[in-house]
A and B are shown apart, each in its own frame.
Chain A
Amino acid sequence: MPSLIPSPVRRIVWGALVATLAAAPASSQFVATQVDVANAPTLLFGGSDADGGIDDWYLTNGVIELVVDDVAPQPDLVPLLGAAAPPKGHEAAISGGSIIDLGLVGQDNDQLNQIFTVGGLSTSNFIAYDTIGASTTATSASITVSGVLQGFDASGVPETDLPLTTTYTLNGSDDFVTVHTVVTNLNPTNTASLLGGFLDVFLWVSRGVTPFTPLTARGFNHVELDLGNPASALELPVYMAGAGRLGPDDGVMDSVTGTAIGSVSYGVLGESAFIDPAGGGGTPAAVNRLFGINGQSVSALGNFPIGSLAPGESLHYTRRVYVAGDDDVAGVTNAMISELGARLGFATGTISGDIDGIESDDVRASVIATRTAGPAIAGLPLGAPVSQRRTDASGGFGSWTLPVGTYSLEVRAPERDVVTVGGVVVSAATDTVASIPDLSALGALVIEARERVQGPDPSLAARATIIGIDGTPDPRFQYEFEALELPAGAGAPNDTRPETFGRGPHIGNVAYFEGATTVDLRPGRYEVVVSRGLEYTVARRRVTVREPRILSDGSVVPRPRRVRARLRRMVDTPDALSADFHIHSGRSFDSSAPLEDRVLTFAGEGIEVMVSTDHDFVTDYAPIISSLALPVGITSIVGEEVTGTNQNPPTFPDSVGHLNAWPLPVQPDERYDGGIQDEFVAPNMIYSRLRALGAQLIQYNHPRAGVSGITSIGLFTNVGYDPDLPITAAPNDLLLSTDVLGQSGVANPDGFRNLDFDLMEIINGTSFGSFLEVRRDWFSLLNQVDFLGGPSSVPFIVGTAVSDSHRLTLETAGFGRSYVLGVGDDTATLSEPTFHAQTGAGRLLATTGPYVELTLEDGSGATAALGDYFVPSSPDVTLHIKVQAANWVQVPQVRIVQNGFTTHTFTTASNPAVRLGPRFPWAGTQNRKIRFEESIPITLGADTWLLVEAGESISVSPTPDPFVEKIVPGFNSLAFTNPIFVDLGGDGFTPPGLPVEVPGALSRSLVARSSASTGSWFDGLTAEEQEELRDHLPVHLIAIPQAAVEALRP
């Protein structure tokens, strides 16, 4: 496997020099320059994906502004490694030099993750840029990056023979970026096989922009990308477009500046491509059709492959990336259709209209135009959706440019019947006013949540789940357009449930609110379940929602139905705070959740401490929490999810995975607001960078995740950690390595090993399978803890539970969560240093539902708590165990684990027994909250670590409870304490060694699949695993078969 790192990194000074000499004066509309300390406050702009910072490169023509990430080695490794220092990069690209921020000047509307380019037909044909420069003229501004193209060694053409240059140019007042890439084959004899085009890769991950292509049965729908059969996802659209999902109504998205985000849409249109023969003289050919893979997870689109690149030849490709300030496809298709009309010779006109509902003149809606008749246009087949327009808040829409012809308009507004209007004629240079009948009416449901206490009931932040009954469908709040993943083979389409925002966290059939909220929904019968996390009862009500009455004079009389829920706090959590150490917002590349809504969802689930962990971004929720002024106690700590994305051979053939760190400082002018570089280095170097920023806690996340993200993102999966082998045996011993890259021969300057992290996610979400798998790894490490220090010593790594919630409702906030003990009960007086110290010491309960308390007592009355190191007076000790649970949380078992094995299992049939909860999970009674409260005597024969688990059996896979599924989809009842280490004799803790228990239900199979996999990648996976794989395909493994290209060749 060739090195993915440009070799050597040859950052040439001319780039900066050119920038200095050629950058236009500040008064010019054309600016192309490197961002520095002085100009950063002026140049850097906002948006949910705005990542650029000092040392990156800024470009504008006064209309568009963009940031290209810097091309340079990772600076702290230069003194250690010299020219071998790996490059800086962003997300999926293997070097700097790609567009990472893109928006309109003054709009703060960057919602683009990244555009990176590959050569030929495979996304693993990376470009390694090593040079960057900038220039301006009187009429344009450009950034130029140069490097080499990898991936053609099999043709006998090494990367050094394929020099490549990409230029990003903003001309005049263009509303698009012109991107030109040229690669030359310098090899004297060998042809670079299949190097006849480029693909621009966009990562959407189903949670950001939804791509739209004007193809029959496509639009927002696309064939599922199955890496076993990528050809099925090939498309040949005339353009691709998509809109960001966030806008000004979503509130502050930059908590540092307090600014909201602007709406945006992006589009891609080909321009020209050709192979220039040796000596020149080639002629550019128009590119009016894009070619490549297109799907909800990723798009990889470029020019149709021309052939192969012979010695001396150069391949040129020029395309346009459009930007508009609208939150719909039409924002960019207006310009692209006009451009295509000029090129292909068709005329255009416009459509406008106003959409009302029966009960309202103001209906926000989405309209998709499908061209059903008209003159033939190459690449735009009749019957294909051409564009999509979103109305304004009053229902009005206009300025919608379409090719002449007859159209069918599909009008969709959340909770209203879909209306299709046919026969709408668009004539040349004419505005057609479409007549659209009133949409079906909405009813209203007012939901109120209060805490049931003595005296006046205070309001609560809560969640309402609304389920249609008696034939009424479940609501789909904010479902403004349908985006399906069409199966590559047989099977039903997968609805990606696009989330759009702007009216608070009412998504799908869930509403989060504080005190009370009103939701507008389809008239019908509903069951409403109001909940507030795992400490509270739930309330269930059944209601009929009626449409408003329309009087004879046309006036509207609303008839809202009211639901009052009084929830009772059941679980006592003295001297403890609930925390979620893994949460995402729209500041992550794979999330669109607004910051304010994010806070409300966690408050509604009863989380008290939010640790911000956006992917490669440092987010501060404190100003958001402060501005919301919620009556409930919630606070935040600033952190980051360091997101290893790239393959990193040879030591880490996959990524180093994901890890969270906190607290971290927000540095607004730095890349990622202070987030660190994390690619091509070993974990120990990441620890050095995080500790230098002040991180006190480092948590390795989902260590057994498989093909998720751009490559496999579970460290233990990638290392191949074997829980049956000691830490000193291969491959486990890689965790003991201090090498800064893996095999550089240079030790970590701070002495950190790859194992020197503090916390480890044992529960991520509510997944049962991953819990069992990671539990086994954790027990393996605990069985080797010796507290001795030294190069082979295994530290006590604290186990945590987190939600890893990316979306407002699909991954439920705060499930799982960690209770940190000994930190008081009031977030207002929380001492962060104490919180960090208690967390790091393992004073921590991890849970999705049961609340477990554990103390250990010896014969002298001395006691130990979670995380303690205890020297008892004799081997006879007593465990005091108490398990509480809300009425809706099942606790089938309580277990004592000693030295990696379950030694005691208590059930409802054992003696002592676990108490059943009430018959009805929605009961309001408090007399069943204590499920287990016993003192269990144990005689220890050796040094022992002990912990207690509660919840599902580990012998069989749990059966979902249909009612509980409504409160927390995918819920599994899981909880464990951190261990108490008992040192008999006070002579040091002698670890028990291996092996550890293998749970009977452990059969999870989701591990990294090789690129040699044949057949569907979804075969044999559970529904949960399939969804994970759909969201996070390893895009570097896309390879379009040549036969598929030939089948499509016009």
Chain B
Amino acid sequence: MKHALPLAAAALLGSVLLGAAVAAGAHSPGPGDAIAEIRGGEAHEPVGLRAVARSPELPRMLVVRVGPGWESASAARRREVATRWRATWRRVEPNGIVAVVDDESLESRVSYDRQGRAHLKDPPRVAGSVRE
């Protein structure tokens, strides 16, 4: 092998290339990163987040399920967090939709205006009730 790189040099080059690839990947966050970011926020500032997942039927929709802790948080805090969730999701899904729903009743808890600002909805009705 006349032009073979020394093993150590090859390993070094490989690690550099790998690192570059990882770094390049880190600069293109995907939906998983956005979901992880939203989940991670709960650890720092809890608002009753129960689950975050893409809609299996409409992948551009992010379904955020919240529990009783949602109503316990201050309104300002909830508006701020929900606004940030939508912005985070839209970074990876330009036409993304965020559905913040009560984990029990599946009723929507937040609406958004055209600027993406969150507006809170009334507390859910009794779980299992028929929507009319």
B57 near A789 (CB under 8 angstroms)? yes
Residue from A788, A992, A993 in contact with B63 in the complex, judged by beta carbons closer than 8 Å: A788
**A869 partner residues in chain B, CB cutoff 8 A:** 58, 60-61, 97
Contact with B along A595-621 (1 / 0, CB 8 A): 000000000000000000000000000
**A786 partner residues in chain B, CB cutoff 8 A:** 106
B58 near A787 (CB under 8 angstroms)? yes
Bound together, the chains give a CA A990 to CA B53 distance in angstroms of 17
B58 near A728 (CB under 8 angstroms)? no
Instruction: Answer whether residue A871 sits at the interface, using C-beta atoms and an 8 A cutoff.
Output: yes
**A873 partner residues in chain B, CB cutoff 8 A:** 114
Residue of B nearest to A981 (CB): B58
Contact with B along A934-955 (1 / 0, CB 8 A): 0000000000000000000000
Bound together, the chains give a CA A792 to CA B132 distance in angstroms of 18
Residue from B106, B111, B132 in contact with A788 in the complex, judged by beta carbons closer than 8 Å: B106
Instruction: Answer whether residue B107 sits at the interface, using C-beta atoms and an 8 A cutoff.
Output: yes
A796 near B57 (CB under 8 angstroms)? yes
The smallest beta-carbon distance between B99 and chain A, in angstroms, is 2
Instruction: Answer whether residue B72 sits at the interface, using C-beta atoms and an 8 A cutoff.
Output: no
The smallest beta-carbon distance between A793 and chain B, in angstroms, is 8
Instruction: Answer whether residue A983 sits at the interface, using C-beta atoms and an 8 A cutoff.
Output: yes
- Residues A809-833 near B (CB distance < 8 A): none
Bound together, the chains give a CA A987 to CA B63 distance in angstroms of 9
Contact with B along A987-1026 (1 / 0, CB 8 A): 1111111100000000000000000000000000000000
Residue from B56, B61, B131 in contact with A988 in the complex, judged by beta carbons closer than 8 Å: B61
The smallest beta-carbon distance between A798 and chain B, in angstroms, is 11
A789 near B108 (CB under 8 angstroms)? no
- Residues B15-32 near A (CB distance < 8 A): none
Bound together, the chains give a CA A795 to CA B53 distance in angstroms of 16
A988 near B57 (CB under 8 angstroms)? no
**B35 partner residues in chain A, CB cutoff 8 A:** none
- Residues B31-74 near A (CB distance < 8 A): 53, 55-58, 60-61, 63
Instruction: Answer whether residue A986 sits at the interface, using C-beta atoms and an 8 A cutoff.
Output: yes
- Residues B88-132 near A (CB distance < 8 A): 95, 97-101, 106-108, 110-114, 119, 128, 130-132
- Residues A717-737 near B (CB distance < 8 A): 726, 728
Residue from B97, B106, B107, B128 in contact with A983 in the complex, judged by beta carbons closer than 8 Å: B97
Bound together, the chains give a CA A788 to CA B111 distance in angstroms of 16
Summed over the interface, the residue pairs from A and B with CB atoms below 8 Å come to a total of 68
B108 near A987 (CB under 8 angstroms)? yes
Residue from B55, B112, B131 in contact with A987 in the complex, judged by beta carbons closer than 8 Å: B112
The smallest beta-carbon distance between A991 and chain B, in angstroms, is 7
The smallest beta-carbon distance between B10 and chain A, in angstroms, is 42
Residue of B nearest to A789 (CB): B56
Contact with B along A963-993 (1 / 0, CB 8 A): 0000000000000000000011111111111
Residue of B nearest to A993 (CB): B131
Residue of A nearest to B62 (CB): A988
Contact with B along A3-36 (1 / 0, CB 8 A): 0000000000000000000000000000000000
**A984 partner residues in chain B, CB cutoff 8 A:** 111
A787 near B131 (CB under 8 angstroms)? no
Bound together, the chains give a CA A989 to CA B100 distance in angstroms of 10
A988 near B108 (CB under 8 angstroms)? yes
The smallest beta-carbon distance between A213 and chain B, in angstroms, is 56
The smallest beta-carbon distance between A368 and chain B, in angstroms, is 60
Bound together, the chains give a CA A986 to CA B97 distance in angstroms of 5
B97 near A871 (CB under 8 angstroms)? yes
**B97 partner residues in chain A, CB cutoff 8 A:** 869, 871, 983, 986-988
Bound together, the chains give a CA A361 to CA B119 distance in angstroms of 89
Bound together, the chains give a CA A800 to CA B119 distance in angstroms of 38
**B61 partner residues in chain A, CB cutoff 8 A:** 787, 869, 988
Q: Which of A869, A873, A991, A993 has the most CB of B within 10 A?
A: A869
**B111 partner residues in chain A, CB cutoff 8 A:** 984-985, 987
B106 near A787 (CB under 8 angstroms)? no
A991 near B131 (CB under 8 angstroms)? yes
**B110 partner residues in chain A, CB cutoff 8 A:** 987
Q: Which of A728, A790, A986 has the most CB of B within 10 A?
A: A986
**A789 partner residues in chain B, CB cutoff 8 A:** 53, 55-57, 63
Q: Which of A728, A790, A994 has the most CB of B within 10 A?
A: A790
Bound together, the chains give a CA A786 to CA B112 distance in angstroms of 17
| With A787-B55, A787-B58 as contacts: A988 and B100 at CB distance below 8 Å | yes
**B53 partner residues in chain A, CB cutoff 8 A:** 789
A988 near B132 (CB under 8 angstroms)? no
B99 near A795 (CB under 8 angstroms)? no
**A987 partner residues in chain B, CB cutoff 8 A:** 97-100, 108, 110-112
| With A789-B56, A796-B57 as contacts: A994 and B132 at CB distance below 8 Å | yes
| With A796-B57, A988-B101 as contacts: A994 and B130 at CB distance below 8 Å | yes
A787 near B114 (CB under 8 angstroms)? no
B130 near A988 (CB under 8 angstroms)? no
B55 near A788 (CB under 8 angstroms)? yes
- Residues A723-780 near B (CB distance < 8 A): 726, 728
A994 near B106 (CB under 8 angstroms)? no
**B63 partner residues in chain A, CB cutoff 8 A:** 787-789, 988
Bound together, the chains give a CA A706 to CA B81 distance in angstroms of 52
**B128 partner residues in chain A, CB cutoff 8 A:** 728
**A787 partner residues in chain B, CB cutoff 8 A:** 55, 57-58, 61, 63, 99
B57 near A993 (CB under 8 angstroms)? no
Bound together, the chains give a CA A793 to CA B53 distance in angstroms of 14
The smallest beta-carbon distance between A311 and chain B, in angstroms, is 56
**A991 partner residues in chain B, CB cutoff 8 A:** 131
Residue of A nearest to B98 (CB): A987
The smallest beta-carbon distance between A953 and chain B, in angstroms, is 27
B130 near A993 (CB under 8 angstroms)? yes
The smallest beta-carbon distance between B101 and chain A, in angstroms, is 6
Q: Which of A787, A792, A871 has the most CB of B within 10 A?
A: A787
Residue from B57, B107, B114, B130 in contact with A795 in the complex, judged by beta carbons closer than 8 Å: B57
A988 near B113 (CB under 8 angstroms)? no
Bound together, the chains give a CA A987 to CA B56 distance in angstroms of 16
**B56 partner residues in chain A, CB cutoff 8 A:** 789
**B57 partner residues in chain A, CB cutoff 8 A:** 787, 789, 795-796
Residue of A nearest to B90 (CB): A986
Bound together, the chains give a CA A984 to CA B113 distance in angstroms of 9
A788 near B99 (CB under 8 angstroms)? yes
**B119 partner residues in chain A, CB cutoff 8 A:** 985
B99 near A988 (CB under 8 angstroms)? yes
Bound together, the chains give a CA A992 to CA B60 distance in angstroms of 21
Residue of B nearest to A994 (CB): B130
The smallest beta-carbon distance between A892 and chain B, in angstroms, is 32
Q: Which of A795, A983, A984, A991 has the most CB of B within 10 A?
A: A983
The smallest beta-carbon distance between A843 and chain B, in angstroms, is 15
Q: Which of A787, A790, A987 has the most CB of B within 10 A?
A: A987
| With A787-B58, A789-B63, A987-B111 as contacts: A994 and B131 at CB distance below 8 Å | yes
Residue from B58, B108, B114 in contact with A990 in the complex, judged by beta carbons closer than 8 Å: B108
**A994 partner residues in chain B, CB cutoff 8 A:** 130-132
The smallest beta-carbon distance between A541 and chain B, in angstroms, is 52
**B114 partner residues in chain A, CB cutoff 8 A:** 873
A788 near B112 (CB under 8 angstroms)? no
B131 near A985 (CB under 8 angstroms)? no
Bound together, the chains give a CA A994 to CA B111 distance in angstroms of 22
Bound together, the chains give a CA A787 to CA B62 distance in angstroms of 10
The smallest beta-carbon distance between A697 and chain B, in angstroms, is 14
Residue from B108, B113, B131 in contact with A992 in the complex, judged by beta carbons closer than 8 Å: B131
- With A796-B57, A983-B97, A990-B131 known, 5 other A-B pairs at CB within 8 A are A789-B57, A790-B106, A792-B106, A985-B113, A988-B108
A-B contact pairs, 29 of them (CB 8 A): A726-B130, A786-B106, A787-B57, A787-B58, A787-B61, A787-B99, A788-B99, A788-B101, A789-B53, A789-B55, A790-B106, A793-B106, A983-B97, A985-B111, A985-B112, A986-B97, A986-B98, A986-B112, A987-B97, A987-B100, A988-B61, A988-B63, A988-B98, A988-B99, A989-B99, A990-B131, A991-B131, A992-B131, A993-B130
Query: Which 3 residue pairs across A and B have the least CB separation, nearest first?
Result: A988-B99, A993-B131, A985-B111
